[in-house]
Amino acid sequence: MNYYSRLSDIVSNRIEDLLSETSDQAQAITGIIDEIREGLTGAQRSVKAAKNSVDRLMGELSERQGEAEVLNTRARQLLQQHDEAGARQTLLRRRECLDLAAGIEQQLIAARSTHEHLQTIHRAVEARLAEAVRIDEKLRRGVVPIPQPATTTKMHSVVAAPPDNSRMKLVEDDLLALRRELGHA
């Protein structure tokens, strides 16, 4: 059985709601976890492709900007040699280079935005997987998950995958902010 049609469904559909529609919750959560894991693999693929696209565009942009810089130097040299026509021609090429770079820059903005969006989705799917694993734990202990607002869900020590360093840094920052708020700093 498929619980999700799209990757974004994993983010938007509450696991408790999916479980409430099934008679065998233990079996369902296993299927849900499998599907989320597959979704996570897909999200990783897309993030990687988006990152490659950003890198490719950055490389091309840097190449064009470097080329423009070389042409500028060349134009300066030509001018020093009193070759104004040659300098003008070179500056025209430099201008073309910069125009191209400006176009690539626009594409780069879009590619970065896509990359960020996909990273957000990826993290959300990771979080959903962690949640699913916690629910699975509960079910194994014989606790039936009761549908409740996500904000009241308590944190458990069981997580699907260890958070990376950047995530842990954010968590530490959050913790520090909370300590300050509570006067524990």
Partner 1 sequence: MNSPSPAIDTALEDDQLMVRLQEGDRLAFPALVKKYQQALLNFFFANTRDRQLAEDLTQDTLLKLYDQAWDYLPSRRFRGWMFRVARNLLIDSVRRRTNDALVKAVQGPPDESSLLDSLTSQSDDSPVQNADRSELARAVDELLPTLPEDQRLTFTLHHFAGLSLAEVAEILEASLATTKSRLRLAREKLREELEARGFQA
The tally of CA atoms less than 13 A away on the side-chain side of residue 92 is 6
Q: How many residues does the chain have?
A: 185
Helices assigned H by DSSP within 81-164: 84-140
- State how far the Cα of 66 lies from the Cα of 138, in Å rounded to an integer: 58
Question: Pick from 24, 48, 103, 158: which binds partner 1 (CB under 8 A)?
Answer: 48
Least Å distance, CB 154 to partner 1, is: 29
- State how far the Cα of 8 lies from the Cα of 30, in Å rounded to an integer: 19
Q: Going residue by residue from 5 to 44, which x/- string records binding to partner 1, judged by CB under 8 A? A: xxxx--------------------------x--xx--xx-
Q: Segment contacting partner 1 (CB under 8 A): 49-57, 83-91, 100-108, 147-155?
A: 49-57
Residues 52-111 contacting partner 1, CB under 8 A: 52-53
Least Å distance, CB 137 to partner 1, is: 25
Burial class for 153, CB neighbours closer than 10 Å (0-12, 13-18, 19+): middle
Interface with partner 1 (CB under 8 A): 2, 4-8, 35, 38-39, 42-43, 45-46, 48-50, 52-53, 118, 121
